C-alpha cells in the first residue's frame, strides 16, 4: 500500500473516485468545463482507463485517461516515450504541478469531502478488518466478489504447485503425494509428514503398491516410528524385517524428528494418520485419474479409507483399541480436498489450458461445508456468514492478502464503502 498524507492520496483512491464519478462538475486547469460521459474501462497495463468518453467545448473525445498523484509523474513514469500513451485524451491528477501539454483536471478541487472522510476512516481503523465497523453485511455480501477472490487464492496456490513441479521435473504424482502427506499431518505435524514424502520418493512407493506390509514398513521406518512402537510392545518384527531389507535396497535412513503426539484428538495422531496414508497411497494413481478427469464424486470416495488390516492387528489393536473406527473422517477428507485435490485440479487445468477443469474446481470447492477457524469467526462477528468452503477460502485470502496489508481500495467491499456517498448532499 502506498504511503499517503492529507495532500497526496494514493492512486488507488483516485481510481475509485474517477471510476465512480465521485466528484462535482469538473473543470480543466485552464478553466474549461469537462463532462465525463463514460469513465472508461480500468486497464491492467498501459493507460489507467481506456474507452473513456469526455466532452470538452462541446466536442466529444473517446480515448484513454491517465491518473497520477502529481502531473509531473507523467515524466517520471516516462509515459512520453511510450506509444501506448499517445491516445490519452485527459490527464487526471491530484496536484497539477509541471505536467505534459494534455487537457488536465486537478481533482482535489472537485472531490466530495465524504469520500476522503470515508477513506481516512478505513486508513486509520484500529481493527484488523478495517471496514468491520462501517460496512453493512446485507449490502456488501456479493458472491461474485468471493468467487473472484477464491479464484485468486487458487491462482496463488497454482504458482506454488508450479514451483514444486519445476523442482520435481513435472512429476505430478510426486507433487500430489507430497501435498497429501503434508496435509495428513494437520494440525501439528505438517512439516514432519512433508519431510517423510521428500525423503521417501514416490518412485519408491510406486514399486510396492501391491504390498501393504512393505508400504507400512517404508512409512513407519523412515519416519522413525518403529523404535517407538517396539518400546510400546507392539509386535513390529515383520515391519522391521521389511524395513531392514528396503532400507538396504534403497539406502534410506530414518528421520530424526520430534513428533507431536499430545494435545489433540486421537484421530489426528500421526500413527493413525500414517496408517490412513498407506491406504491412500495404494490408490494414488486412481485418485490422480479422478482429479484430471474432473470426477469429484470418485475422488471423494477414494479418500474414505481405513488403514490396512496388518495395521489394525498391530498398531490399531495395541494403541487405538478405544477408537470405534479407523476410517478417515469428514474433517481430514475436507482438508485434503480443499488444500490438495482442488488446487491440483485447478493447477492441471491451468497447465493444460482447460477452463472446464478450473471451473469445476471452483464448483467442487463450493460444494464443501464452510471451514471454521479464528479468521472465519472474525468475519462471522461482523455479519459475514460463509455458506461453503469456496467462501471461507475467499475470506481467508481477503483477510491475509487484503485486510492485513490494508489493500482496502483493491477490495470490492472497501471500494464500495468509499464510493457510497450521498452525492446530493456533498456540495
Q: pLDDT at residue 117 above 90?
A: yes
Element of type H or E holding 52: strand 49-56
Q: pLDDT at residue 46 above 80?
A: yes
**pTM score, two decimals?**
0.89
Q: Please give the full DSSP string across 84-149, using - where no structure is assigned.
A: GGGGEEEEEEEE-SS--SS-EEEGGGTB-HHHHHHHHHHHT--SSSTTTTT--HHHH--HHHHHHH
Q: For residue 345, what pLDDT band results from cuts at 50, 70 and 90? A: very high
Q: For the segment 75-94, what is each residue's pLDDT rounded down to a tens digit?
A: 999 998 899 999 999 999 99
Q: For residue 427, what pLDDT band results from cuts at 50, 70 and 90? A: very low
Would you report the helix, strand and coil content of the chain in percent, each value rounded to 5?
A: 55, 10, 35
Average pLDDT over residues 220-249: 95
The pLDDT value given to residue 150: 97
Q: pLDDT at residue 136 above 90?
A: no
Cell of 169: 521435473
Q: Indicate the burial class of 4 (C-beta count within 10 angstroms; 0-12, 13-18, 19 or more).
A: middle
Q: For the segment 392-411, what is each residue's pLDDT rounded down to a tens digit?
A: 999 999 999 999 999 999 99
Q: For the segment 304-334, what is each residue's pLDDT rounded down to a tens digit?
A: 999 999 999 999 999 999 999 999 999 999 9
The pLDDT value given to residue 187: 83
Please state, for a pLDDT cut of 90, what percent of the chain lies above it.
87
Average pLDDT over residues 158-176: 97
Average pLDDT over residues 376-387: 92
Under 8 Å between Cβ of 315 and 234 = yes
Cα–chain center distance at 137:
22
How far is Cα 81 from Cα 84, in angstroms, rounded to an integer?
9
Q: pLDDT at residue 365 above 70?
A: yes
The pLDDT value given to residue 138: 53
Q: For residue 424, what pLDDT band results from cuts at 50, 70 and 90? A: low
Element of type H or E holding 54: strand 49-56
Q: For residue 19, what pLDDT band results from cuts at 50, 70 and 90? A: very high
Three-state DSSP at 60 gives strand
Q: pLDDT at residue 4 above 60?
A: no
The pLDDT value given to residue 356: 96
Q: For the segment 269-306, what is each residue's pLDDT rounded down to a tens digit?
A: 999 999 999 999 999 999 999 999 999 999 999 999 99
* Phi, psi of 259, deg, nearest 5: -70, 140
How far is Cα 308 from Cα 395, in angstroms, rounded to an integer?
38
Find all residues with CB under 8 Å of 128, minimum gap 6, and list them: 378, 399, 403, 404
Q: Indicate the burial class of 105 (C-beta count within 10 angstroms; 0-12, 13-18, 19 or more).
A: buried
Please state, for a pLDDT cut of 70, what percent of the chain lies above it.
96
Find all residues with CB under 8 Å of 54, minimum gap 6, and list them: 34, 35, 36, 37, 60, 61, 65, 89, 90
Residue 63: strand pairing partners: 52
How far is Cα 337 from Cα 258, in angstroms, rounded to an integer?
27
The pLDDT value given to residue 143: 80
Element of type H or E holding 218: helix 212-222
Q: For the segment 186-223, what is each residue's pLDDT rounded down to a tens digit?
A: 888 999 999 999 999 999 999 999 999 999 999 999 99
The pLDDT value given to residue 426: 46
Q: For residue 1, what pLDDT band results from cuts at 50, 70 and 90? A: very low
The pLDDT value given to residue 121: 93
Chain mean pLDDT for the chain? 93
Amino acid at each position: 500500500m502506498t504511503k499517503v498524507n492529507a495532500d497526496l492520496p494514493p492512486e488507488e483512491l483516485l481510481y475509485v473516485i474517477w471510476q465512480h464519478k465521485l466528484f462535482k462538475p469538473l473543470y480543466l486547469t485552464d478553466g474549461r468545463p469537462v463532462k465525463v460521459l463514460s469513465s472508461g474501462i480500468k486497464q491492467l497495463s498501459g493507460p489507467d482507463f481506456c474507452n473513456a468518453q469526455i466532452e470538452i467545448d462541446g466536442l466529444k473525445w473517446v480515448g484513454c485517461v491517465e491518473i497520477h498523484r502529481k502531473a509531473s509523474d507523467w515524466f517520471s513514469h516516462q509515459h512520453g516515450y511510450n506509444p501506448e500513451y499517445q491516445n490519452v485524451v485527459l490527464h487526471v491528477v491530484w496536484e497539477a504541478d509541471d505536467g505534459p501539454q494534455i487537457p488536465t483536471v486537478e481533482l482535489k478541487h472537485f472531490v466530495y469531502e465524504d469520500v476522503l472522510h470515508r477513506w481516512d476512516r478505513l486508513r486509520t481503523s484500529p481493527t484488523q478488518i478495517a471496514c468491520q465497523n462501517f460496512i453493512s453485511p446485507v449490502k456488501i455480501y456479493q458472491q461474485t466478489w468471493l468467487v473472484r477472490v477464491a479464484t485468486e487464492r487458487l491462482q496463488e496456490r497454482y504458482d506454488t504447485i508450479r514451483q514444486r513441479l519445476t523442482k520435481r521435473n513435472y512429476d505430478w504424482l510426486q507433487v500430489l503425494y507430497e501435498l497429501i502427506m503434508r496435509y495428513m499431518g494437520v494440525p501439528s505435524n505438517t512439516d514432519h509428514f512433508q519431510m517423510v514424502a521428500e525423503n521417501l520418493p514416490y518412485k519408491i512407493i510406486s514399486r510396492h503398491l501391491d504390498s501393504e506390509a512393505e508400504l507400512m514398513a517404508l512409512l513407519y521406518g523412515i519416519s522413525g516410528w518403529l523404535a517407538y512402537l517396539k518400546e510400546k510392545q507392539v509386535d513390529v518384527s515383520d515391519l522391521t524385517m521389511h524395513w531392514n531389507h528396503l532400507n538396504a535396497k534403497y539406502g534410506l535412513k530414518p528421520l530424526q524428528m520430534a513428533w507431536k503426539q499430545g494435545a489433540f484428538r486421537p484421530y489426528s495422531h500421526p500413527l493413525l494418520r500414517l496408517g490412513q496414508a498407506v491406504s491412500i497411497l495404494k490408490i494414488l494413481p486412481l485418485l490422480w485419474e479422478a482429479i484430471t478427469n474432473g470426477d469429484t464424486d470418485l475422488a471423494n470416495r477414494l479418500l474414505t479409507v481405513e488403514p490396512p488390516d496388518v495395521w489394525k492387528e498391530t498398531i490399531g489393536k495395541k494403541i487405538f483399541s478405544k477408537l470405534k473406527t479407523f476410517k478417515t473422517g469428514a474433517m481430514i477428507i475436507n482438508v485434503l480436498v480443499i488444500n490438495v485435490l482442488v488446487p491440483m485440479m485447478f493447477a492441471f487445468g491451468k497447465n493444460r489450458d482447460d477452463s472446464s477443469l478450473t471451473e469445476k474446481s471452483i464448483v467442487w470447492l463450493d460444494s464443501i461445508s464452510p471451514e471454521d477457524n479464528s479468521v472465519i469467526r472474525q468475519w462471522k462477528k461482523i455479519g459475514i456468514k460463509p455458506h461453503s468452503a469456496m467462501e471461507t477460502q475467499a475470506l481467508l485470502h481477503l483477510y491475509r492478502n487484503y485486510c492485513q496489508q490494508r489493500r482496502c481500495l483493491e477490495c470490492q467491499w472497501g471500494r464500495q464503502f468509499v464510493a457510497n456517498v450521498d452525492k446530493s448532499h456533498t456540495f
